[in-house]
Amino acid sequence: SQQGEEDPQALSIQEGENATMNCSYKTSINNLQWYRQNSGRGLVHLILIRSNEREKHSGRLRVTLDTSKKSSSLLITASRAADTASYFCATVGVSGGGADGLTFGKGTHLIIQP
Amino acid sequence: DAGVIQSPRHEVTEMGQEVTLRCKPISGHNSLFWYRQTMMRGLELLIYFNNNVPIDDSGMPEDRFSAKMPNASFSTLKIQPSEPRDSAVYFCASSLGGAGSSPLHFGNGTRLTVT
């Protein structure tokens, strides 16, 4: 089954710095999605990038996708304390129909030090 | 839009008891997913429904787990009998269309503790 693996498992940076998280997966995908989870809450969708796209932006977020390396990265620029959360990548395979379930990695725990 | 609503938020029960978790998806969404989250295993997809029909329940750990979606606005996940290893946070999520093309909207989860 598809499964993204995030790297690093934990990341601590100073407020204002950029944070980069990586995701690797095993087989071909239709798209890759990034989610954020604040402590004690459900996951919140951040961005979806399709397999034919290489880069996508949303506010301070930049996502890249390299299908040849089966990897994606999430960059958060000018980090803020409120960005402290766990970040997950999730994939849906090419064989999946529209109703397939997303498979999540174990996440990167990001801590922004004030 | 109230988002995905799950109840209860916390459930503490004794081993052997029946547990029922409830979910109300976002109105108009036609896919519903149940996930379980633990430190050891991360987020696991248990089952998902499309148009109220179970599509894939291969993630359901064993026969003690069952899920139903009697209509488009309600789903339940039942564990009978419950065991301590079922302790986890259970999330319900819904999407417009499948997860392949649409983002998932998650509820805030039910934290289950089985003693």
Q: Where is pLDDT greater, at A102 or A80?
A: A80
Q: Assign A95 a pLDDT band (cuts: 50, 70, 90).
A: low
A87 contact B CB<8A: no
pLDDT tens digits along B27-60: 999 999 999 999 999 999 999 999 999 988 888 9
Q: Assign A84 a pLDDT band (cuts: 50, 70, 90).
A: very high
- Per residue, what are the HEC states of chain A? CCCCEEECCEEEEECCCCEEEEEECCCCEEEEEEEEECCCCCEEEEEEEECCCCEEEECCEEEEEECCCCEEEEEECCCCHHHCEEEEEEEEECCCCCCCCCEECCCEEEEEEC
Contact A43 B91 (CB under 8 A): yes
A52 contact B CB<8A: no
Percentage of residues of chain A with pLDDT beyond 90: 74
Which residue of B lies nearest to A101 if distances are taken between CA atoms? Answer: B99
pLDDT of residue A37 exceeding 80, the answer is yes
Contact B93 A106 (CB under 8 A): no
